[in-house]
Structure 1
Amino acid sequence: MGTRIAGTARRIVMTAAAAALTAGLATGCEGDDKAEGDAKKPVKESASVTPSEAPPSNGVPPEASDAPVPPASEQPSTGKTLTKAELTQAALVTGDVPNYVVTPMQGGEEPGTEKADKPDCQPLAAVINGAPEPAASATLYRTVVDKREEGNERQTVVTVILTSHTAGSADAVLKSVGTAVEACAEGFTTHGGDGGASTYSEVKKLPTQKVGDDAIAYQVTGAMDGSKMPLVFHVVRRGATVATFYTANFIDAQTPEIPVALVQKQSAKLP
C-alpha cells in the first residue's frame, strides 16, 4: 500500500475535485488505497504556476492571469471572538474577488483526527485536519475556484477555513505553527484511528503575504503512489480569527500558489 494523505486533507482534496468536476472538469480524484480502492487519474487542486508563466500546453489562456494586487487596506481588528453566524458574514463570497467562485465546502465539515508522531509537529497535523490548535469556538469552511480555468486540469481550487478563538488562542495558533515549521523541516508522520499512516518528507517556510496581525505560509510535502505531493498552507490571524488557506498539486512536484487577492480580501473582511 502506498503512502496515503491524512484523513481530512484527503477529504478536502476530494471535495475540491468534486467542485471542479461540477465546473466542468473531466478528470477524477485519486483517493486512499484502503478507502477508495483502485486509483484514478489524479486531480490537482491549484495551478503550480500562474497562468501567465505556464507553458502553452497547459490550456490556460494568457488573459486568465490575475492583475497585480496592491496591498489591502485593513482597519484595526475588533479582537472579537466571532460566532458561526459572524464567521459566515465575514467569509469570502462570489464577487469579492473577480473571477473566483466561492461555495460552501461539500462533503461535510467534520475535522480529521490525525496525530503526528512527533509532538512538535502536531500543530501542522492539526492544520491538515482542518482544525488548528488551540481548538476553535466556531469553524467555517469554503471552497474557492477560478472560473476562468474551467475545463483545465490545473484549475485553481483553494480551501479556506475560518476559525474563531478565545482571547490569546488565535495568537497561540500562529506561534505554534511557526515553531512547528522550523522544528519539523525534515518531515513527520501522522497516524489515524483506522491504523493508516501518512508520511510527509519535508516542511519549509514560504514567502508570506503581509496581511492581518500575523501570518505564515509554508509547504508540507507528502506523497501519492511514490510521487511528491506539495501541500501549501497560508495561515493568517486577524484579531481572534484565523484564516487558513490550503491548496495542493497532484500533477507534479512544483509548489502550487494561493492567489494573493484571496488572502488579502479575506483578511480585510475579518472584523
Structure 2
Amino acid sequence: MKRSSGARLCATVAVGALSLALVTGCSSDDSKKDKGTKGSGSGAGSSSSSAPAAAALTTAELEKLLLAQGEVEGYKVASGDDILPKSKAGVKTDKAACDPLAWATAGLAPGDTNANASNSVSEDKASTATAQPEDIADAFNIAMTFVGLSSYEGDGAEKAMKAVSDGVTACSGGYGLSAEGENSKVTKVVAEKGTGGGDEAVAFAEDVDMDGEGTATFHTEVIRKGNTIATFYTVNFAALASGEATKIPAAVVQAQVAKLK
C-alpha cells in the first residue's frame, strides 16, 4: 500500500472523493503536507409532524450553532475550512438523484439553500508524537467527524430530507463521483440506523470501490430540526487502512442536534 503526503490532503480526499487515494494516501508516514458558505435513529427517513420555521437562518447564525471547543468532552473542534470542499460545484455525480448524498457526505447543504456552515470534530488524543514510526501511524488513528449545517425557507428543509431519502433508494446500485479533481465509484448505498434525534433523520452507508482492491464502507447521517439540517460524516484513516469499521460518534451527533433551534 502506498504512503501519503499528509493529513490535510488525506482529509480532502476522504470527504471529496471517497476514492482509493483515501486509503493509499492516508496510511502514511510521509510528512508533506478545502468550506465556504456551506450548509438518526432511523434508516431511510423517519419524520414527525413538527412544522419547519418559515425563515432560514443566515450563514453567520449557523456558524454560531456549530459545536464549539469544549462542548463535547473528549473531542476538539476545528473550522474545516482547509479540508472540506468549498462548494457544490466541486462535487459532482453521474446521477442527479445522488447529488444530495454526495453533498451531505462533503459537509455541504443537501438541499437548495445558500445558508451553510461546517466544521470538523475530532477525537482529542494526547499527543505522543516522536520520531518513532508507530507514533506517526497512531496520529492517523483518530476519528474525524465533518459536520455541516444548512437552513431553508418554508418547507425547504423537508424537501431536502426527502431528496436524501429518495437518493438512498435511487442510488442503491451505486453512482460515479467526482470531487476536488478526484474520481471514484460508489458501488452500493443502503439505509441504516443512526443516532437519530430532531424531527426527521436519514442515515445511510456507502460502499466505495478501492480501485479494484476491495471496498470500504462510509457512514453518513442527516438530521432535520425545524428548518435546519445537520449532516455528519466520520472517517478514521488508520481504520480504513486496516479494514475496521468507523461509526459516527453518538456524542457528537447528540451535542450538535441539541444546539439547533
TM-score, with structure 1 as normaliser: 0.67
Contact 2:121 2:144 in 1 (8 A): yes
Secondary structure of the residue that 1:86 maps to in structure 2? Answer: helix
The one-letter amino acid of 2:27's match is: P
1:188 Cα deviation from its structure 2 partner: 1.2
1:16 Cα deviation from its structure 2 partner: 8.3
What residue is the counterpart of 2:144 in the other structure?
A: 157
The one-letter amino acid of 1:13's match is: A
From 42, 54, 65, give the equivalent of 2:27.
42
What residue is the counterpart of 1:13 in the other structure?
A: 11
Corresponding residue pairs, total: 213
Secondary structure of the residue that 1:264 maps to in structure 2? Answer: helix
| Shift in CA distance, 93/209, structure 1 to aligned 2, threshold 3 Å | same
What residue is the counterpart of 1:168 in the other structure?
A: 155
Q: Deviations over 1:52-102 (max 9, x none)?
A: xxxxxxxxxxxxxxxxxxxxxxxx898252112211221111111111111
| RMSD of aligned Cα (Å) | 3.2
Q: Deviations over 1:9-58 (max 9, x none)?
A: x96823889xxxxxxxxxxxx9886xx9xx54537xxxxxxxxxxxxxxx
| Shift in CA distance, 118/94, structure 1 to aligned 2, threshold 3 Å | same
| Shift in CA distance, 265/128, structure 1 to aligned 2, threshold 3 Å | closer
What residue is the counterpart of 1:247 in the other structure?
A: 234
Provide the C-alpha distance between the structure 1 equivalents of 2:149 and 2:110, rounded to a whole number of angstroms: 13
Structure 1 unaligned residues grouped into runs of 5+: 1-9, 18-29, 44-75
1:261 Cα deviation from its structure 2 partner: 1.2
What residue is the counterpart of 1:186 in the other structure?
A: 173
| Shift in CA distance, 16/104, structure 1 to aligned 2, threshold 3 Å | farther
Structure 2 unaligned residues grouped into runs of 5+: 1-7, 29-49, 129-137
Q: How does 1:110-259 map to 2 (within 5 A)?
A: 110-112=86-88, 113-148=90-125, 152=138, 153-191=140-178, 197-225=183-211, 226-249=213-236, 250-259=240-249
1:172 Cα deviation from its structure 2 partner: 1.1
Provide the C-alpha distance between the structure 1 equivalents of 2:26 and 2:67, rounded to a whole number of angstroms: 30
Identity among equivalent pairs (%): 28
| Shift in CA distance, 12/179, structure 1 to aligned 2, threshold 3 Å | farther
Secondary structure of the residue that 2:113 maps to in structure 1? Answer: coil
Contact 1:211 1:236 in 2 (8 A): yes
1:105 Cα deviation from its structure 2 partner: 0.7
Provide the C-alpha distance between the structure 1 equivalents of 2:180 and 2:78, rounded to a whole number of angstroms: 30
Provide the C-alpha distance between the structure 2 equivalents of 1:133 and 1:40, rounded to a whole number of angstroms: 27
Secondary structure of the residue that 1:148 maps to in structure 2? Answer: coil
